[in-house]
Structure formats: structure tokens, C-alpha cells
Amino acid sequence: MSLSGVSCLVTGAGGFLGQRIVRLLLEEEEALAEIRLLDKAFSSEALERFEQFQGKTEVKILQGDIRDVPFLHRACQGVSLVIHTASIIDTLGLVEKQLLWEVNVTGTQRLLEACVRCNVQHFIYTSTIEVTGPNCKGDPIFNGDEDTVYKSAPKFPYARSKRLAEDSVLKADGQTLKDGGMLMTCALRPMYIFGEGCPFLQGHLDKCLLNKNVYLRFSRKQALVNPVYVGNIAWAHVQAAKALRDPQKAQHMRGQFYYISDDTPHVSYADLNFELTRDLGFGIESRLPMPLTMLYYFSLLLEIVSFLLRPFVRYVPSTNHHLVTLLNTPFTFSYRKAQKDFGYVPRYTWEEARQRTGQWIASIVPQRRECLKSKAA
């Protein structure tokens, strides 16, 4: 099914993943009627990229807050497809819980309400693997799928907020629209997303440069995960959008979630950084800074110190027990269901993803070195 003539709203369009989805939509052979790009703020670089691809599809920039109800109604008016990627990502507990809930949970619910009021038929939500786990025990999953039973109730604020938002999206499927039509929804749960422009990769690169071009080992080699390249998760959104418009495929997809991975080798998070840049001459530490159990309790101690200091000063530890568990638990999933239900097949091979990401990292190394020097001076 084609997206030709469709009016689409992409939230979080100025972000790492949102930009890539917009780029793919603008590159479609059969042009959309319109793409509305919604975000709280857009960098000048993002706006320049959007201008490069403007052609047959009309592009409209909407800068505003996902919590603003009148703004959302204006954004959704006349739209038939919403791709909702906007959220606050917080792995360290840096964001106040109230703000996290207002944006990730309430913002999603208000967007769904706007879709019903404005007769939006199709809604795709970008969830996260963290709504599944790992749990606090660090129970592993090897090549799991949507039917895998896993005892977990997300406790970390970010994971909980995403789970509640995803639940709202899937429960909204089948709601009657104002014009009598029906809302159809699904959610995509990507693995850790890497690729050009990834802010987490840049953060790890900075620490590597400060550590004499050697990556810090923050996850053990046995903690295998299957990250997904940003181009492939963006492509999954486009394929899901097309399939939701196909009545036969939509009946299988409605109200469902899908794990999205690709053919990236199963590696630990730390070893992924190394694999992407080994050709640039970077190394990686051979072991964790301390035994895993000790690292877990050390992180827990830092959290306790942070809690005790809260009345006097805001101290944010560099790690926490949730992050240590997340980074050191084997957790891999198959994309078979997405392939079966809506034809998802990775658009980029691992070698292509590795080459593209490595080239981007190589291009920013001089800039990051200068930036770190100026901070040290």
C-alpha cells in the first residue's frame, strides 16, 4: 500500500530518530501530500536537512509543546497518519518525574484524544525495549519474541512512563472517531538505536577520547544485546505506516506491539562502540572497572548519597543500579513477527550500518577533541 497523497504528522521530528523517519518519508517515490513536523525545538542543522529534501511533498514546521491541547488539535486537523516518536529519554534519573510523566504519558494521551477529535485514522507509537526489561534481577532473554513470557513490571521512571504511554496507544485502537471512522494503532519496540547523530555514541566517544582513545568497559562481554541501526528502525515505521493502510494487513497489526531489530551482530553495549570505531584505531578496556556485584552495590551507594544530599544540593550520580543491570543483562529479540505481519525487512545491512556510523564518528572526532580541550582549559 502506498503513502501517496497522505497527510502525515511526525512528532519528535527534530530528534535523532524523528529526523531519519522524515527523511525516508520525503524520499518516497510516490510523494505524500504533506508532512507536518512537530517538536518543541528544531536545531538549525535539522531545518537545513529538511530543506534539502523538500520537493513534491509539502513540509510544515510546527514548533510547540506536546502537552498543549489546542496546539495538538491544530497539528492533527486534516491529518490521516500520526507517527509519534516524541518523548523524554532519561536513563540516569536526570529529569523530574512529573515532567517525565507529563510529556511521555499525558502528552501521548492528549495526542490520542486529538486524533479522535480530528479523525486521524492511523497512529504508530515509538516505544522502547525497556518497557519489557530487563527486570531488577537481570533475568536474561535470548532471541525472544512478542510471545515470550517475562516477569517484569518496569520500576525505573523512564521505562514506566513509556510502558504506560504504550498501553494507552494500544488500548486506543478501535476508538470511534468524531466522523464515525475508526482509529487504528500499533507500537514499535526498538532495541537500542545507533547510527549517525546518536547522542549516546557521541557521549561514549567523548569519554573514550578523555581515556586516551580507549573505550571504557561499562558492560561485560557476555551481556549480549542486538542494537538496531537508526535507518532500519526508521524504515520499520514507514513500512508499518503503509501496512496499516492495507485492510488485510491492518487486521493483524491493530492494537499490537512489535520488537524491531535488524542483523547487527549480538554484542554487548560496550563492544558495539568498539566495533563501530575499531578501524579508527580506538581500543576498549578488557574488563569492568570492578566485579559486577560490586559495581551494582557501588551504584546503589551513589544513589543513596544522592538521595541524602537532595535537601541541600542536587547531585546526579554517573550511574545507577538500574543502568548497571540494563547494560549487563543478555537481552535479544527477533523481528520475525514484524516481518510476518507487515513485511518489515531491514533496509541496511550490518556492514552498511557500521560503515555509515563509523564515517560519521570519524567526521566528528576533530571537533570533539577541540571541544574537550576547550572545556579542560
Q: Which residues are identified as catalytic?
A: 162
Which parts of 211-287 fold into alpha helices (H)? 230-244, 247-253, 269-277
Q: What is the DSSP code (8-state) at residue 279?
A: G
∠ Cα 82 86 92 (to 5°): 155
Given the DSSP bridges, would you call strands 58-63 and 184-190 parallel, antiparallel or unpaired? unpaired
Which parts of the chain fold into alpha helices (H)? 16-27, 44-53, 69-76, 97-101, 107-117, 157-171, 199-210, 230-244, 247-253, 269-277, 292-309, 321-327, 336-342, 350-376
CB-based contact 320:302 (threshold 8 Å): yes
Cα separation, 204 vs 40, whole angstroms: 26
Q: What is the DSSP code (8-state) at residue 104?
A: I
Given the DSSP bridges, would you call strands 58-63 and 34-39 parallel, antiparallel or unpaired? parallel
Nearest to 331 by CA among 222, 184, 214, 251: 222
CB-based contact 4:238 (threshold 8 Å): no
Q: Classify 78 in phi/psi space as left (phi over 0), alpha (psi -120 to 50) or beta.
A: left
Amino acid letter, residue 60? K
Q: Which three-class secondary structure state does DSSP give residue 34?
A: strand
